[in-house]
Amino acid sequence: MLVGVLVTNLCIGFAIFLGGRGTAQDVKAATPPQDDLQSRVEDLGDYLARFIQEGNPGKAVVFDLVGPKGLRAPFGSWMADQISTTVAQRHPELQVIDRSTISSLLEKRNRDADQGSRAGHVWDPKRDRAYARQAGAETCIFGSFSKMQRAVRIDFYAIGQPKPRSMTFWAILPLTDQVAKLLPLGLETEAPRGESDGASSAHIGEPQCLWCPIQLPATPSNCHGTFALNILVSKEGRATDIQNVGVTEECGERVRAVMEAARRWWFQPAQNLDGKVEAKMFTIRLAL
């Protein structure tokens, strides 16, 4: 089972823990990737690989993603192919089922889901576990997508054995020409959704977290409280300075992991009144 805590404003929705002293620390800015879309797909594959590894030995399968209200589109199968192939190539030690070898099973699973969607039924994860077992997999990954302004949001879900285990998180991918051609015509653009408990959505022009994944071990019993993580986001959308506010000494081990992860985070930089990007502080409020 995942360790769940507070999810941050417009950031990836999954468990996050943080610790360290209340001092400012510099983080070396990373060079923006040449291929933003491919780099983010690779990071998605790496993150999902960690979940698959927890269930080893065992196989994993990636099912087609669906749009709003269960809408089918080429993007859903393309994204599933990308994730499946990326994990298999970057993590050859894992057993990821080649989707082309189970095409008939995937079609049957999609028809079953479509029928349930038209009947107004909520898709039952138990059905996906059943289809995963038919494919010979202990872990299945599936999800949904929606169109945002200049981006596509993907909500991922993963379930597997043993225990059983589950994971939920979301990510933002750039709306490239390639992606746009795979989306259904007339797909409505959704407004950004706030993801924290009671926290407000980011204002227009403020920095927004596009890709901020982190997965850390359980918090020790003496590590608790609330604090803020202040990040100076550069014009390139990278964390160039991080400040921890209100963090207890008992949580010190976690700050190093977060600092390391922050080097790979992507942000949409802030914009001034003229629409030009500028460096600005981004605040994530967290609770242990």
Q: Is the pTM of this model over 0.75?
A: no
For 223-250, what is each residue's pLDDT tens digit? 666 667 788 999 888 888 888 776 677 7
For 147-170, what is each residue's pLDDT tens digit? 987 788 888 888 887 777 787 777
Res. 37: pLDDT tops 50: yes
The full set of domain ranges for the chain reads 24-287
Give the chain's mean pLDDT.
74
Per-residue confidence (pLDDT) for residue 10, from 0 to 100:
30
For 175-226, what is each residue's pLDDT tens digit? 888 999 999 888 888 765 433 332 333 334 678 777 776 665 555 667 666 6
Res. 28: pLDDT tops 50: no
Closest to 156 in 3D by CA, of 88, 80, 87: 80
Which CATH superfamily groups domain 24-287? ABC-type transport auxiliary lipoprotein component (3.40.50.10610)
Establish whether the linkage from the previous residue to 57 is cis, with ω within 30° of 0. Answer: yes
- Mean pLDDT of the 133-148 span: 92
**pLDDT band, very low/low/confident/very high, at 92 (cuts 50, 70, 90):** very high
Greater confidence, 27 or 198? 27
Cα torsion angle, 172, 82, 265, 260, sign: positive
Greater confidence, 62 or 174? 62
